[in-house]
Structures are given as structure tokens and as C-alpha cells.
Amino acid sequence: MLSFIVALVLAAAVFFFAVGTLGILRFPDFYTRLHAAGKCDTLASMLALFAVALFTLQDWTFAELLVSLKILAIAGFVFIASPTACHAITRAALVLGVEPWERREGKK
């Protein structure tokens, strides 16, 4: 049962990584691409780390519990650091003069 849950969470992580990649390829400018990458990669990384933390809890020993807690601590760091890094990169691009995309009249 635990393996099925881990596989399901990993499949969700792969889905969000794929959606983020698709967003990077399809969106028109730097800011929207970074938004897609930042949101999807953060969620996918969290799901993948959660799946690994669950997978290490096979026998429920104290050592496995400590490893899982360390993995969840890494997930917490990713949860804080990834959006902060995306914000810093976006702010730097704005300061450097990277223009946001605007839809032109007559085009859909």
C-alpha cells in the first residue's frame, strides 16, 4: 500500500515537472516563463521529496524516521528558497530593464 501511495505522489511530481516544462516552452516572455517554472518546480520538488520521505519509512525504525524528517526539512527549505529565488531573479530582470510581454492589437 505504501509503495502505491509513493508511486502516485511521484507520478504527480512528474506531472507538475512536465507542466512546468511545457510552460517554459509555451509562454511568451521571461516573466511568465519564470512564473511557470517557479510554481510548478516548487510543487513538483515538494511532492518528490515527500514521496522519498514516505518511501524511507518502510519499517518505521527510529533511524528511518530521522531520515524522513531530514528529507522533510529539505522540503521545507525548498518551499522557502525556491519562491524567494524566483522573486529575486524577477526583481533583477526588472531592474535590468527586461520588458514584460504585451499583446499587440490585431493578433490573437
pLDDT along the chain (108 residues), means of 10: 95 97 94 94 97 93 96 97 96 95 76
- Write out the residue range of the structural domain in which residue 78 sits: 2-96
Do the domain assignments include residue 101? no
The pLDDT of residue 104 is: 81
Do the domain assignments include residue 18? yes
- Residue 93: burial class (beta carbons within 10 Å; 0-12, 13-18, 19+): middle
Could you tell me the sign of the dihedral formed by the alpha carbons of 93, 13, 46, 69, in that order?
negative
The set of cell numbers assigned to 105 is 492589437
What total number of domains does the chain contain? Answer: 1
Do the domain assignments include residue 24? yes
Radius of gyration of the chain (CA): 18
Look up the pTM and report it.
Answer: 0.87
Could you tell me the sign of the dihedral formed by the alpha carbons of 52, 55, 57, 59, in that order?
negative
Do the domain assignments include residue 50? yes
Do the domain assignments include residue 104? no
Do the domain assignments include residue 106? no
